[in-house]
Structure 1
Amino acid sequence: MWTLFRKELSSFFTSLTGYIVVIIFLLINSLFMWVFPGTINVVESGYANLDALFIMAPWVFLFLVPAVTMRLFSEEKKTGTIDLLLTRPLSDMQIVLAKYLAGTGIVIISLIPTFVYFYSIWQLGDPVGNLDLGGTWGAYIGLLFLASIYVAIGVFASSLSDNQIISFLIAVSLSFVFYVGFDSLAQLSSADQLAFYIKNLGINEHYSSISRGVIDSRDIIYFLAVITIFLLFTRTVLQSRKW
């Protein structure tokens, strides 16, 4: 499994996809944090925080992650190597996990350079270091979980079609629904209790919760459950080729 994982991860960078994703992610977030005018601009707002990163990153990942994952199975199907892949001495779940972990690896690599933002904001604080560390680290954890769900959705979408564009569109649509779709649906409900349960089906409710710096086991369970569900869906799609 780890051999396949390393192969998939290295392929992102041999094809320049990995570099492009990291550069675009950092560029867009940097522009909104430091250049574009607005309430989340650090210089303009006068507040030393990383709110801009944690507000913009989910939207940037919403498109970048599907762009990364769309080829994971679609390319294998189109070139006919999927059958060869399935004959490896690996279980279907190990194949799914290897590709999922490779996609998640790109997310982690994208987030590592943002610690430069963290250091900059730390130095800009008055006094130096005047930063809500609990909220910041909680938001980083939440962002990693959020992007990990996007990866799981993207891997599933990639298994559905041999057309990468179709896989991309499916992944973006599903990720959008899970990020803000349930919030919008909850607003249509006149029953507060029902609205509460609907909102809790979406990513944003749990991402916002964990971003406050409180690591709630219910949020962790939610993220892990959604990731697991989509990985199991992907395994089922692969197994259906053998029926």
Structure 2
Amino acid sequence: MIQIFLKEFNSFLNSLIAYIVISVFLTGIGLLMWVFPDTSVLEYGYADMETLFVLGPYVFMFLIPAITMRMFAEEKRGGTIELLLTKPLTDWQIIFGKYLSGLVLVVFAIIPTLVYYWSIYKLGSPEGNIDTAGVMGSYVGLVLLGAVFTAIGIFSSVISSNQIISFIVAVFFCFIVYSGFESIASINDWGRFSGMLEQLGILYHYDALSKGLIDSRDVIYFLSVIAVVLLATKLVLSSRKW
């Protein structure tokens, strides 16, 4: 697994993908938080990071699939997937190696945003007038959300040899899992089941974490979604033996 992780991570560092993804994420969020008047912290005068945690997931919906779309699709297109599968590695080692390389890159994109927290902390009146617990909870939620999107991206990459198709499928699934269930639950016809449907989506649990209370139920939900998606990836990858 370590070999796969290092291979994938080095391929990111040796290409423009990692630098483009991190630069686009930080530049986009930076502009939204500090420049654009409709979302700028300086304009509405509240010491919080709501812009990052509300709009960040939608940015991730496109950036993370851009990272993961090549992981298996390129192997299939280039004919190297068979060579990879003949090595003394289990399917799980291959999947986890590729998954962790994408997740680490996502975490590297998030870490520099701590500068935004420090800036708002210093700009607060009085200094430090920011809900630190809520911010930390939101960071936990954002990392877990990135972990789910990475798993979905890996799954989308393994089902197709076309990177563009993998990207589109990943974006679609990320949107459905994040806010699709809440949109469906808002339909009045569901009645008492609307609350249950809403809790199936990530947004419900992501919002709960952003309040600063890290509930084990929300964490277990994220980990369960990741496990299910990676298991589906394993089944697709193992289908070559059927």
Instruction: Provide TM-score, normalisation by structure 1.
Output: 0.98
2:158 matches 1:159: yes
Tell me how far 1:189 sits from its aligned partner. Answer: 4.0
Q: SS of the counterpart of 2:101?
A: helix
Q: SS of the counterpart of 2:200?
A: coil
Match of 2:186 in 1: 187
Match of 1:196 in 2: 195
**Matched letter for residue 223 of structure 1:** F
Q: Output the CA distance in 1 between the equivalents of 2:40 and 2:194.
A: 33
**Matched letter for residue 92 of structure 1:** D
Match of 1:62 in 2: 61
RMSD of aligned residue pairs (Cα, Å): 0.9
**Matched letter for residue 45 of structure 1:** Y
Q: Output the CA distance in 1 between the equivalents of 2:119 and 2:9.
A: 30
Q: Output the CA distance in 1 between the equivalents of 2:238 and 2:208.
A: 36
Q: Output the CA distance in 2 between the equivalents of 1:193 and 1:210.
A: 24
Aligned residues, how many?
242
Q: Output the CA distance in 2 between the equivalents of 1:128 and 1:11.
A: 43
Match of 1:206 in 2: 205
Tell me how far 1:89 sits from its aligned partner. Answer: 1.3
**Matched letter for residue 29 of structure 1:** I
**Matched letter for residue 144 of structure 1:** V
CA deviations on 1:130-175 (whole Å, 9 max, x unpaired) are 1111100000000000111000000000000000000000000000
Q: Output the CA distance in 1 between the equivalents of 2:150 and 2:208.
A: 21
2:76 matches 1:71: no
**Matched letter for residue 28 of structure 1:** G
Match of 1:107 in 2: 106
Q: Output the CA distance in 2 between the equivalents of 1:191 and 1:158.
A: 34
Match of 2:144 in 1: 145
**Matched letter for residue 181 of structure 1:** G
Match of 1:217 in 2: 216
2:14 matches 1:10: no
Match of 2:32 in 1: 32
Match of 2:82 in 1: 83
Q: Output the CA distance in 2 between the equivalents of 1:191 and 1:73.
A: 39
**Matched letter for residue 168 of structure 1:** F
Q: SS of the counterpart of 1:241?
A: helix
Runs of 5+ consecutive residues of structure 2 not aligned to the other structure? none
Q: Output the CA distance in 2 between the equivalents of 1:196 and 1:46.
A: 34
Q: SS of the counterpart of 1:89?
A: coil
Tell me how far 1:217 sits from its aligned partner. Answer: 1.1
Tell me how far 1:193 sits from its aligned partner. Answer: 2.8
Q: Output the CA distance in 2 between the equivalents of 1:160 and 1:191.
A: 33
Q: Once structures 1 and 2 are overlaid, which stretch shifts more, 160-169 or 125-134?
A: 125-134
Q: Output the CA distance in 2 between the equivalents of 1:76 and 1:205.
A: 36
Q: Output the CA distance in 2 between the equivalents of 1:36 and 1:172.
A: 25
Runs of 5+ consecutive residues of structure 1 not aligned to the other structure? none
Percent of paired sites with the same residue: 51
**Matched letter for residue 215 of structure 1:** I
CA deviations on 1:37-84 (whole Å, 9 max, x unpaired) are 11x310000111111111111010000000000000000000011111
